[in-house]
Amino acid sequence: MLRNNVTVDWTVRESARAHLRVLVKRLLRKYGYPPDKQAKATRFVLEQAEVLISSLGAEP
């Protein structure tokens, strides 16, 4: 889901990052992830996406 919604400037624009955070939170709720751990999980997912982008040679 994230891969389909990533824009070119998602690492720069806060509005693009906010949209991705919403998508991650929806997925976590859909699959029954505990609400008290969602904030940390969301940060982790976005950090992993940044690492993946940087490993592909693109600037985050």
pLDDT in tens, 5-58: 666 666 667 887 888 899 999 999 999 999 999 999 999 998 988 887 777 665
Q: Can you tell me the distance from the alpha carbon of 29 to that of 39, in angstroms, rounded to the nearest whole number?
A: 12
Which pLDDT score is estimated for 37? 95
Which pLDDT score is estimated for 17? 84
Which pLDDT score is estimated for 41? 95
Is the model's pLDDT at 3 over the cut of 70? no
How do the domains of the chain map onto residue ranges? 2-55
Exposure letters 35-47 (e unless 16+ CB within 10 A, then b) = eeeeeeebeebbe
Tokens of 30: 């859909």
Which pLDDT score is estimated for 51? 84
